[in-house]
């Protein structure tokens, strides 16, 4: 029998847009949940309909501002396990699809809301995007070079980790509690809250050393040669993470710098050591350094480009870069399922869905006739 995933039998209605919510529901869908993404048709031409997080899902268009649209949603919600939304606080209340309203239709519902700053507090109505949540949480201030402007990461950390992943975790926790008690639950996910959780190591070092960390000048961010990045002769980069003494010792031996072995965290000589190591790395290409470090037991990695990652044997073997067949028969690159379960593994079962693709089929399931569906479409409800 084909494995359906750990969440087989769970139905999720996803009202969210852009990246955080759809990433969360993709995780749930990858592991077997039935996810029905629901969006208003006025967003059909939105350039930010990210197809890369729409796999394994169904999608329907629905105007929740209409009475007919609300009635359809209530029917769907009555049979759902989870509702996910990413609007500003108060929007779902105005639409009549908030937690308190829905739990009257479904007392067992798990309701998750993802926002930038949470459902309460002085910033609850403040708008924002990934960079703003990184900034407000203090994370952005720690990224970059000393005495230079903060550097915006090239990936959406707050959206994916603090938003999507935290929401998926919260939903799974709430489903587990419901399994034991039968109780429904509301989940308040703030992406800024989530980024605060990224400061665990920085708080530890503050409490241990009595000094606040500063940009590009921390034990795990460029302060010492053992945890740094270095440019090579061909203008590529290599990363070194030799935090433990045994790794640092081997690193120094490979670079023929035995005099620096006892000086790993020497604050007086740290700049001297970094400059010496920089000079050595600039003498060889990245490929040459790969060969030198290939059999070493130290913590190193080339700084790869996206092009290299998509072609890397490691990620092909781990099925983290794979291919899915689109409805027209073409092969499209997809990112794999990163949570590997032995008995109930996640999988990519269907390619990314198009906007509103399943509206008719879903309505047919809850009793609407073909004629009624055409009428709803003509009225702009779907």
* Phi/psi at 300 (5° precision): -145, 160
Tokens of 360: 């008719």
Of 281, 118, 249, give the one whose Cα is nearest residue 188: 118
User: Reduced to 3 states, what is the DSSP secondary structure of residue 116?
Assistant: coil
Tell me how far apart the alpha carbons of residues 292 and 250 are, in angstroms, rounded to a whole number.
Answer: 12
Q: Which residues pair with 165 in a beta bridge?
A: none
| Positions marked active-site | 129, 159
* Strand ranges for the chain from DSSP E: 11-14, 34-39, 57-61, 82-85, 110-115, 185-190, 227-231, 237-241, 300-302, 321-325, 331-335
Question: Residue 380 contacts by C-beta under 8 Å, 6 or more apart in sequence?
Answer: 41, 63, 66
* Phi/psi at 34 (5° precision): -85, 115
Tokens of 335: 């990112």
- Distances, alpha carbon 290 to alpha carbons 285, 303, 311, 318, in Å: 9, 11, 17, 21
**H helices within 96-199, ranges in order?**
99-105, 130-137, 157, 166-181, 191-196
Question: Residue 71 contacts by C-beta under 8 Å, 6 or more apart in sequence?
Answer: none
């Amino acid at each position: 029998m084909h494995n359906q995933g750990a969440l087989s039998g769970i139905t999720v209605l996803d009202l969210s847009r852009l990246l955080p919510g759809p990433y969360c529901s993709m995780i749930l869908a990858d592991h077997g949940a039935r996810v029905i993404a629901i969006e208003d048709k006025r967003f059909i031409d939105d350039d930010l309909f990210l197809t890369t997080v729409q796999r394994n899902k169904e999608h329907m268009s629905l105007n929740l501002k209409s009475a007919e649209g609300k009635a359809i949603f209530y029917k769907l919600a009555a049979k759902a396990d989870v509702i996910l939304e990413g609007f500003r606080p108060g929007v779902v209340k105005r639409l009549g699809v908030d937690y308190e309203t829905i739990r009257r239709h479904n007392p067992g519902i798990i309701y998750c809301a993802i926002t930038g700053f949470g459902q309460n507090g002085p910033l609850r109505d403040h708008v924002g995007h990934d960079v703003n949540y990184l900034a407000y949480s203090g994370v952005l201030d720690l990224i970059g070079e000393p005495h230079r402007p903060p550097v915006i990461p090239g990936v959406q950390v707050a959206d994916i980790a603090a938003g999507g992943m935290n929401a998926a975790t919260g939903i799974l926790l709430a489903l587990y509690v419901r399994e034991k008690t039968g109780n429904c639950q509301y989940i308040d996910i703030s992406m800024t809250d989530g980024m605060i959780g990224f400061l665990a190591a920085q708080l530890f070092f503050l409490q241990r050393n009595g000094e606040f960390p500063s940009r590009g000048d921390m034990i795990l961010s460029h302060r010492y040669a053992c945890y740094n990045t270095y440019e090579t002769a061909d203008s590529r980069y290599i990363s070194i993470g030799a935090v433990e003494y045994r790794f640092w010792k081997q690193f120094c031996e490979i670079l023929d710098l035995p005099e620096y072995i006892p000086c790993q965290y020497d604050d007086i000589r740290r700049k001297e050591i970094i400059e010496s190591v920089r000079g050595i790395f600039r003498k060889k290409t990245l490929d040459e350094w790969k060969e030198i470090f290939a059999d070493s037991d130290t913590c190193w990695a080339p700084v790869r480009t996206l092009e290299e990652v998509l072609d890397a044997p490691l990620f092909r073997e781990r099925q983290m870069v794979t291919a899915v067949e689109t409805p027209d028969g073409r092969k499209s690159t997809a990112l794999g399922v990163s949570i590997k379960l032995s008995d109930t593994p996640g999988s990519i079962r269907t390619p990314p869905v198009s906007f509103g693709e399943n509206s008719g089929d879903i309505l047919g399931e809850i009793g609407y006739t073909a004629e009624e569906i055409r009428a709803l479409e003509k009225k702009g409800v779907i």
